[in-house]
Amino acid sequence: MTVRPIRIFGDPVLRTPADPVTDFDASLREIIGDLEDTVREPGRAGVAGPQIGVSLRIFSYNVGGVVGHLINPVLSDHEGEQTEEEGCLSLPGLGYDTTRALKVTATGFDQYGEPLVISGEGFLARALQHEVDHLDGRLYVDTLSGDVRRQALRELRRVVPRA
């Protein structure tokens, strides 16, 4: 398997909704292996398919020493609220307070097409929501508003080189 480079803000794949996975084959398992190898790099909590240039509804996570993946995720059972600083590998060097649900349940499939349910609270819930946003073509800065959003976008233009 391979640690793949992360796509950076400005890459169109990050703003395009990912396609559902329909074939649970060896090719998919190779992508899952690459996602899991990529998320194992230090300081990483999640990597979505679009972040490695694969426009499929898949992501890997690495929270509390547990590495896993979810295919075609759907979030439900949102409970409570948490506001913490959030960052993103595709928006290097930036972090802003972002409000997310405190608890969520993510349902989907594993790499063999078997149903999978992940219930998360706190940081895991945040990671699940963040990665599903990537699959919908959204970035965490899209959830910001007002002056904070304007500040984040100005900072992005400053720190992320344009092609």
Strands (E) across 27-158 are located at 46-48, 58-63, 66-79, 82-87, 95-100, 103-109, 115-121
88 is in an annotated binding site: yes
130 is in an annotated binding site: yes
Task: Indicate if 86 belongs to the active site.
Answer: no
Place of tokens 């290097």: 92
Residues 6+ apart with CB under 8 A from 133: 139, 140, 142, 143
Given the residues 85, 114, 121, 131, select the one marked as catalytic: 131
Distances in Å between the Cα of 98 and the Cα atoms of 21, 72, 152 are 29, 24, 12
Which residues line the annotated binding site? 88, 130, 134
Catalytic residues: 131
Per the annotation, binding residues for Fe cation are 88, 130, 134
